[in-house]
Amino acid sequence: MSLIVFNTLGNRKEPFEPLEEGKVRMYVCGVTVYDLCHLGHARANMVFDFIYRYLLHSGFDVTYVRNFTDIDDKIIKRANEEGVDFRVISERYIQAFYEDMGRLGLLSPTFEPKATEHIDGIIELVSRLIERGHAYVVDGDVYFAIDTFPDYGKLSGKNLEELEAGARVDVDERKRNPLDFALWKKSKPGEPSWESPWGPGRPGWHIECSVMSMKHLGDSFDIHGGGKDLVFPHHENEIAQSECATGKIFARYWIHNGFVNIDKEKMSKSLGNIFTIREILEKIHPEVLRFFFAGTHYRSPIDYSDRSIREAKAGLDRIYTFYDRFLRAEEKAPELKEEETASGSVEEEDETALLTLEERFRAAMDDDFNTAAAMGFLFDAIRRLNRYYREDPAQDPESSAFFLKGGEKVTSLLRVLGFLSDDPVSYFRYGIEGKLKEKGISLDRVLDMVREREEARKVKDFTRADAIRDTLKSWGIILEDTPSGTFWKFEEEG
């Protein structure tokens, strides 16, 4: 069993063989920090979080680099609008990025370099490209000459004639080829700039990724990732400039994630359907978003809508209900985990299903990180295990032992994908303050009512108990009576 990944370079699945055995060097294009992160960023980063976590789980020593583009036109524009230094803008959004990604439960990459911290390296790489005849200086700007790289287009599957014919950009007369791109941009007066052999200026967009990836990962490394939209021109250009500078293969496996659509439409500023991560997290638990993303293969487009989120929440609720049962069982009868399995009360089919669970999970993940299939196996296991759950383990130790042992497996695999970072109670009450406030109800009031209802039930005053339950229901609160007490949570909503 070994990992297969879909490589955009070549457009097919390939066995994954790292340059150095047991070690993976991975670079993922990060964000340009000029605004808050939206759902699309959430998906891209979540997808690579799944990949990162799975590679770690598979035993690889992973060096994961994700950059910040902290100097570019949009940042400058924003800074001008606010009348502040561009660093004020970039720092602000870098902090916001950390907050958002932290809340999404993403593991931190090994390195998170910033473009402005690598200006020397950028100048050096650009100089080398000029020396080697792959770049030329025009009036303070430096361009990469794509005609000097015969492989140009190999990633995106384009050929030069088509590209030139289809070029819609305004043709800059100073470029030798309309598709030549800027490595270094001369700065206009008042713009942030760094000294360089070609005069004051700043790096072009593509060059920073080549410099930062090679600095941390070497001239050649294993995985380079990003959103599908980066294939052309960004990644194509990175390959051109990197391979021309070093004469070596740049990244070997190119992984690109699909887009997020909103109600079947592309997210765009003009449609006004861009949701920021923090806006979404006001309403829904971060893991609901994680579950939502895990449900679709990373290369496919995914459609965000009230309905799809409601369905994702329902699915994750099921997982957390199971997790809650598992924790309770573990607390009640920890010794059962040590019990020998072979027991008459467990169906052979269920026993087998649990024994092969990890294998099936791995096979799915090994097949180009198929999280959706992996989740399917986990749900199958959860359904089977729920049959063996007993409120009182002492009544049926054999079943309970099976439930506990299976639960341990299932929860550990869920954690591989970044789930179960919360405890069940706080999961089910996520956003409680905001929700109660919206309805003008205090938490104490809810707690009192739940207590009062329990009292009423004890004395079999079911009319009173049901009345209270109905009232709570009208506030969107669902009650669950269990032998160990009454539990309450919010019902599903958008």
> Which CB atom, from 314 or from 394, has the smaller least distance to RNA?
314
From the CB of 491, what's the least distance to RNA, in Å? 8
> Which CB atom, from 114 or from 127, has the smaller least distance to RNA?
114
Beta strands (DSSP E) in 153-278 are 181-186, 201-203, 221-227, 251-257, 260-262, 265-266
From the CB of 423, what's the least distance to RNA, in Å? 16
From the CB of 21, what's the least distance to RNA, in Å? 26
From the CB of 118, what's the least distance to RNA, in Å? 17
> Which CB atom, from 128 or from 311, has the smaller least distance to RNA?
311
* 326 close to 407: Cβ distance less than 8 angstroms: yes
371-386 vs 397-416: helix crossing angle, rounded to 10: 160
> Which CB atom, from 246 or from 308, has the smaller least distance to RNA?
308
> Which CB atom, from 63 or from 321, has the smaller least distance to RNA?
321
> Which CB atom, from 19 or from 107, has the smaller least distance to RNA?
107
301, 305, 311, 313: CA torsion to nearest 10: 100
Beta bridge partners of 477: 490
From the CB of 101, what's the least distance to RNA, in Å? 12
From the CB of 303, what's the least distance to RNA, in Å? 6
CA separation for the pair 45, 390 (Å, rounded): 39
CA separation for the pair 280, 43 (Å, rounded): 13
From the CB of 266, what's the least distance to RNA, in Å? 4
Q: Are strands 221-227 and 23-32 parallel, antiparallel or unpaired?
A: parallel
> Which CB atom, from 65 or from 127, has the smaller least distance to RNA?
65
Contacts of residues 371-378 at CB distance under 8 Å and 24 or more positions apart, as own/partner, are 371/50, 371/293, 371/294, 371/295, 371/297, 371/298, 371/417, 372/294, 372/295, 372/296, 372/297, 374/294, 374/413, 374/417, 375/291, 375/294, 375/295, 375/417, 378/319, 378/410, 378/413, 378/414
> Which CB atom, from 41 or from 53, has the smaller least distance to RNA?
41
> Which CB atom, from 61 or from 380, has the smaller least distance to RNA?
380
Burial class (CB in 10 A: 0-12, 13-18, 19+), 154: middle
From the CB of 131, what's the least distance to RNA, in Å? 26
Beta strands (DSSP E) in 187-334 are 201-203, 221-227, 251-257, 260-262, 265-266, 302-304
Sheet containing 302-304: which strands, arranged edge to edge? Answer: 265-266, 260-262, 302-304
Instruction: Write out the two tokens for 214.
Output: 């090679």
From the CB of 50, what's the least distance to RNA, in Å? 13
